[in-house]
Structure 1
Amino acid sequence: MSSTEHQPPDPPARPTTLGRGSYAETLRVADLLRKETIGGMLLVAAAVVAIVWANSPFAGSYVALRDLEVGYEPWHLRLSLGAWASDGLLAIFFFMVGLELKREVMIGDLRRWDRAVVPVAAAVGGVVVPALVYVAVNQGSPDALVGWAVPTATDIAFAVAVLAIIGSHLPPALRIFLLTLAVVDDLIAILIIALVYSSGIEPQMLLWALLPLAAYALLARRRRLIFRSGQLPAWLLLLPVGAVFWALVHASGIHATIAGVVLGFAVPARLRPEAGEPDGPDDHGLAEIFEHRLRPLSAGLAVPVFAFFSAGVTVGGWDGLTTALASTVTLGIVAGLVVGKIVGITGTTYLVTRLTRSELDPSLRWIDVVGVSALGGIGFTVSLLVAELSFGAGTELGDHAKVGIFLASLVAALLGAAVLTARNRHYAQLAEADSVDLDADGIPDAYQ
């Protein structure tokens, strides 16, 4: 009898936390990072222009432009330009979020629970802990407590842009983690906006909204039948139907950005073949097509214009800045976004790893997770929206909240960039010393 027969079997491999994901997902995220870089730069540029203009001798013209009302009164569509940006243009951004969520859940890595549990749990921790930090700082101030949701958001465009600039050699698993974390974070922010900041609901308008929504969903799923000739682009029918649904949701009292998410969910992620037609590998649904074509509109126009109209806070000189920095609203937002996000995201990820008895992916270290968690503290776009919903535009507490958002986002970006830049150099050295083997199909062996 050979000695090998008495050797105990190898212990089963422990599950991996933050694995590299599928190769297709890695390629998609890498492409997304490249596209979001320009959008993030435009976002920052628009915010800087607004801040400088709002604190210049021409501040009155900025306020007049932001408060200029256009539109028609029926369906409550007589809005200021600032409101059109937050209710209308930002709906395009949330439409993209809806498309991204639909795609991830249906055909992406989120359809697998073992890959979804960590980023979903981390996103929840990254929402709960910052909110608790803010409440702790503002305990005893009812007027300030209404802004508890401001530090819960993560700006996907800003955070992804920072990662794209400094993280060229970071492991793909880390990039996928940040993107998935930010998307789930946006979903939680959407639920908060819908449940907390919707008031004066008119059920009749919501019932009427079901009609264009049903028509929209039907048209989206019958795209091949309706547009078989190729003469009529899909958006030509879907856009007016979606616009009617948005208007009815806006008139119902629910924040209109929710309409964008719902429309995104209604778009199929995979195109089912018609009767008698084969199901080919390139048979993508409208979700991927819309995501590809509308992302430049969202990142290059909708979000920067919203940031321009929302970021223009009048500080009031050095005295005003000192007052804002001493406000518990400002301090609570900074502490929530900078400290709360790191503790919430990293701590929850560590806790889930221990509870599931898994191990961090061998390509990563916990300092990498800390760096990504710091980038999660960039709460620019959605935080500005929640601040306006909480305190109102142009109010003193609203201005303090925006100062806190700017300061926290800057600190979080610098802190995350500092950590991940050092880690990026480390992974660049490893890449030089250990080349990646490719098979004849061009796919790295690690993904096979």
Structure 2
Amino acid sequence: MYKVWKIINNYSLLLIGGAILALVWANVSPDSYHHFVHYPLIENFFIGQLEEVNGETHRVLTVHYLFNDVLMALFFAIAAKEVWEAIILEEGSLRGRKAATPLIATLGGMAGPVVMFFALAFILWPATVPDVAHGWAIPTATDIAFSYLVGRLVFGAGHPAIRFLLLLAIADDAGGLLILAIFYPTGELAPQWLILSFGVCLAVFLLFNWLPRKLDGDNLSSPRGTWVRENLGSMPYLIAGAISWYAFQEAGIHPALGLLPLIPAIPHADQAYGFFAQEEENMTDLLNRLEHALKVPVQLVLFGFGLSNAGVEFAAIGEPTWLVLFGLLLGKPLGIFLMGWIAAYPLRLGLPEGMNLRDLLALGCVAAIGFTVALFVASVAFPAGEVQDAAKMGALFSFGAAAVSLVVGKLVGVRKVHD
């Protein structure tokens, strides 16, 4: 039973379950599904989506807002933790020459879908361009967990392409977070609120992380640091996280990103093992302990996210569906392959030992699974309605990249490497 749950936990199968349930529910009883998703949990609240009633604006906490804007902050915090450690730690996977080719390939994997999205829109459906243009970022996403799972099926667990894929997916997440913050505000921007967010995160870092270590100096017993850990634990960071989240909401930036400034403030390990690394389960630093504590809750959050976002009627399939889908299935593999080739050969940065261009092509197909983040971006890129539903369907259909990856892997002769 433990092994079964571990597979479910690691690969977000609860998210698939929530998405499938939403699809069935929305197509069997769409009215009851939308009533559930937009059900007002608390009206006239200090958090929630803005609504205007009788000329007055107030916030309403709905089921959809709870999952998308509040609880998904935990999911993005875990993604940000992996990005932060990959950048800041001495052995971080996004540092140095070894990360150069995956990072350049990531640029292609983000630019390729955007180019494909607009090229298809202008060529096939020019009249729809004004309606769909705001969704250009949807196909830039790569779902780390599902890409990892499919990558293992295509390459085997010991193939160097798996590490390349994870580096690319982590960098892709970092780019996606920046895109969300910059291009998809949730309301009128009020950047002064960001002073509160970054200020409280800086304060908690100085008071509960830097200062105890500074006062302990070379004292190996670390009495002050130990007192902070044993008596305060994660409480200062939880309070700072709540304040930071609220500041993002008020700043007009998507509040699901509200925990990002907090990640660098939390005491972290001095060694990086990489995404999904078994060794991290034994790390005792606060950042890793918080990640482990959040793993199960985040899977339940992803179930709720899938349930409240994937309920799209099949009748909604339209031009945005194909733009998102082919942006992922065509644009991402082509972009990754082209930029990966440029990095490896004209720039002479090379590919990892044991990996070749055929593997790079198959890897690009694996990375085309957008799902979670693509679904999230679709929900913020367009207002609720036909265009949003059609774009979401494209994100859901990107699961087809799994089948494409397996076929391409066979056709190009990818050699599986097991542990």
Shift in CA distance, 124/52, structure 1 to aligned 2, threshold 3 Å = same
Structure 2: gaps (5+ residues) = 49-58, 214-221, 272-281
Query: How much does 1:341 deviate?
Result: 0.8
- For residue 188 of structure 1, give the secondary structure of its aligned residue in structure 2: helix
Larger Rg over CA atoms: 1
Task: Please point out which of 336, 343, 350 is paired with 1:345.
Answer: 336
Matches within 5 A, 1:321-336: 324=317, 327-336=318-327
Provide the C-alpha distance between the structure 2 equivalents of 1:50 and 1:152, rounded to a whole number of angstroms.
Answer: 24
Q: Hey, what does 2:151 align to over in structure 1?
A: 163
Q: Is the 8 A contact 2:375 2:395 kept in 1?
A: yes
Q: Is the 8 A contact 1:36 1:161 kept in 2?
A: no
Q: Is the 8 A contact 1:341 1:373 kept in 2?
A: yes
Query: How much does 1:226 deviate?
Result: 5.2
Task: Please point out which of 184, 192, 203 is paired with 1:204.
Answer: 192
| CA displacement, residues 186-241 of structure 1 (integer Å, 9 cap, x when unaligned) | 11111111111114111332233334222332334458735537644622332122
Shift in CA distance, 111/203, structure 1 to aligned 2, threshold 3 Å = closer
Provide the C-alpha distance between the structure 1 equivalents of 2:231 and 2:179, rounded to a whole number of angstroms.
Answer: 38
Query: How much does 1:424 deviate?
Result: 9.7
Q: Hey, what does 1:84 align to over in structure 2?
A: 66
Query: How much does 1:340 deviate?
Result: 0.5
Q: Which moved more, 1:99-108 or 1:355-364?
A: 355-364
Q: Hey, what does 2:164 align to over in structure 1?
A: 177
Query: How much does 1:339 deviate?
Result: 0.5
| CA displacement, residues 92-150 of structure 1 (integer Å, 9 cap, x when unaligned) | 11101111011111224435320121111111111111001101112232111111111
Q: State whether structure 2 residue 88 is matched by structure 1 residue 106.
A: yes
Provide the identity percentage.
Answer: 28
Q: Is the 8 A contact 2:101 2:349 kept in 1?
A: no
Q: State whether structure 2 residue 60 is matched by structure 1 residue 61.
A: no
**AA matched with 2:399:** L
Provide the C-alpha distance between the structure 2 equivalents of 1:338 and 1:220, rounded to a whole number of angstroms.
Answer: 44
Matched residues, number? 376
Q: Is the 8 A contact 1:98 1:263 kept in 2?
A: no
- For residue 102 of structure 1, give the secondary structure of its aligned residue in structure 2: helix
**AA matched with 1:388:** S
Task: Please point out which of 154, 163, 182 is paired with 2:142.
Answer: 154
Task: Please point out which of 16, 20, 33 is paired with 1:44.
Answer: 16
Q: Is the 8 A contact 2:358 2:413 kept in 1?
A: no
| CA RMSD in angstroms, aligned pairs only | 2.8
- For residue 254 of structure 1, give the secondary structure of its aligned residue in structure 2: coil
Query: How much does 1:397 deviate?
Result: 0.6
Q: State whether structure 2 residue 360 is matched by structure 1 residue 369.
A: yes
Q: Hey, what does 1:93 align to over in structure 2?
A: 75
Q: Hey, what does 1:260 align to over in structure 2?
A: 259
**AA matched with 1:195:** I
Shift in CA distance, 424/79, structure 1 to aligned 2, threshold 3 Å = farther
| CA displacement, residues 63-108 of structure 1 (integer Å, 9 cap, x when unaligned) | 1111012345235563211111111111111101111011111224
Shift in CA distance, 285/422, structure 1 to aligned 2, threshold 3 Å = farther
- For residue 354 of structure 2, give the secondary structure of its aligned residue in structure 1: coil
Structure 1: gaps (5+ residues) = 1-30, 273-281, 437-448
Matches within 5 A, 1:212-227: 212-218=200-206, 219-221=208-210, 222=212, 225=224, 227=226
Shift in CA distance, 181/361, structure 1 to aligned 2, threshold 3 Å = closer
Provide the C-alpha distance between the structure 2 equivalents of 1:59 and 1:117, rounded to a whole number of angstroms.
Answer: 47
Query: How much does 1:261 deviate?
Result: 2.1
TM-score by length of 2: 0.81
Q: Hey, what does 1:417 align to over in structure 2?
A: 406
Q: Hey, what does 2:392 align to over in structure 1?
A: 402
